[in-house]
Structure 1
Amino acid sequence: MLRGFDGDRQRLGNAEKFLMHLIQLPSYRLRVESMLLKEEFATNMNFLEPSIDNLKLAAQEIKDCHSLHEILYMVLVAGNFLNAGGYAGNAAGFKMMSLLKLTDIRANKPGMNLIHYVAMQAEKKDPSLLKFSEELPSLEEATK
């Protein structure tokens, strides 16, 4: 209605005058949203900063966890063995999303899959490897 108004602008109320000036600004909506974002940024950062710090700590723990690295290497070796002779055999690494598929690779034993096999091999090699979660105390909080 204000865009179509062609009468005397002096007769408009203060709110209508303000809106008339506002809608004449280019990209006024984007400007108002930007100003709101700028005002709320410090509050949002104070709220998010502990979570960000926790994520950084968890990432450092994962980086430093030798037991986890050893188990992931065992997963890589098992995957290379299963894929030997194919295009995926002799891989130098794997995508983290492929870890979700470890439970899908079943053995001929009932209730046994690749993650069970890797856990059994880790236990044979060094039982302390299976306690890698104790080396990652911040990980559970970081996943939240």
Structure 2
Amino acid sequence: KLPPDKVQHLIPCAPTDGELEMVRAYVKAGGDVSKLSGAEKFFVKLMDLVSVKQMLKLWLLKSQFEPRVNHIRERIQLVENALQKLRTSENLRQMLEVILAVGNFLNYGTARGNAYGFHLDPALDMIDGLKANDKSMSLLVFVIEQMHTACPDALKWIDEFELLADASKGIYIY
């Protein structure tokens, strides 16, 4: 049994269909196989195979299939764990409640006031984009500083999500 790395190196060395056809024509015309070079004699042995290169690629795929599946399973599990962490984090929930409360306070008396929830991406873009009059700090920085003072435990969600960095790389099939 050849290891996958050896099979990988064999693929570029496999005879092309044209090379096999030339050897096939030579043998069919009654050419003397003993006069052929070592590589050409090897091609004579391979010429009855349908597609050597394709067979090598399939062999390589078969040998790598289980490790690839295991890798994908590990990545899926990592993403599932990260999602579960997001769903169940009380600290993140508290942070989002504070952001909602700030948004409701700022929008008091308007159609956007008294909201029960918000879409995360646009809301975070908006509060990061809102600046103080002197442009020294964004609303997001202000909220985080206030939380650091009033309820520092709520900021622990940042430490809880170390797992997210790896999970955010997604699931790639190599």
Establish whether TM, by shorter chain, passes 0.5. Answer: yes
Give the counterpart of 1:116 among 141, 158, 167.
141
Q: CA deviation at 1:57?
A: 0.4
Report if aligned partners of 1:65, 1:136 keep a CA contact under 8 Å in 2: no
- Residue 126 of structure 2 aligns with an amino acid whose one-letter code is K
What TM-score, normalized by structure 1, do the two folds share?
Answer: 0.64
Report if aligned partners of 1:102, 1:114 keep a CA contact under 8 Å in 2: yes
CA distance in 2, matches of 1:56, 1:63: 10
Any idea what SS the aligned residue of 2:109 has? coil
Give the counterpart of 1:80 among 82, 94, 104.
104
What TM-score, normalized by structure 2, do the two folds share?
Answer: 0.54
Q: CA deviation at 1:110?
A: 2.8
CA distance in 2, matches of 1:114, 1:69: 18
Report if aligned partners of 1:58, 1:138 keep a CA contact under 8 Å in 2: yes
Kindly, what percent of the aligned residue pairs are identical? 30
Report if aligned partners of 1:106, 1:113 keep a CA contact under 8 Å in 2: yes
Question: Quick one: structure 1 residues 109 and 68, their matched pair in 2 at CA, closer, same or farther if it must change by over 3 Å?
Answer: farther
Alignment correspondent of 2:28: none
Alignment correspondent of 2:50: none
Q: CA deviation at 1:75?
A: 0.5
> How big is the alpha-carbon RMSD for the aligned residues of Structure 1 and Structure 2?
2.3
Query: Which stretches in structure 2 are left out of the alignment for 5+ residues?
Result: 1-60, 170-174
Q: How many residues align?
A: 107
- Summarize deviations over 1:110-137 as a string: whole Å, max 9, x none: 3211101111221122223223221223
CA distance in 1, matches of 2:149, 2:134: 19
Q: Does 1:46 align with 2:74?
A: no
- Summarize deviations over 1:55-112 as a string: whole Å, max 9, x none: 1101111122211111111110111111111111110000011222221111113321
CA distance in 1, matches of 2:104, 2:137: 19
Structure number with greater Rg is: 2
Alignment correspondent of 1:69: 93
- Residue 146 of structure 2 aligns with an amino acid whose one-letter code is Q
Any idea what SS the aligned residue of 1:53 has? helix
Q: CA deviation at 1:142?
A: 0.8
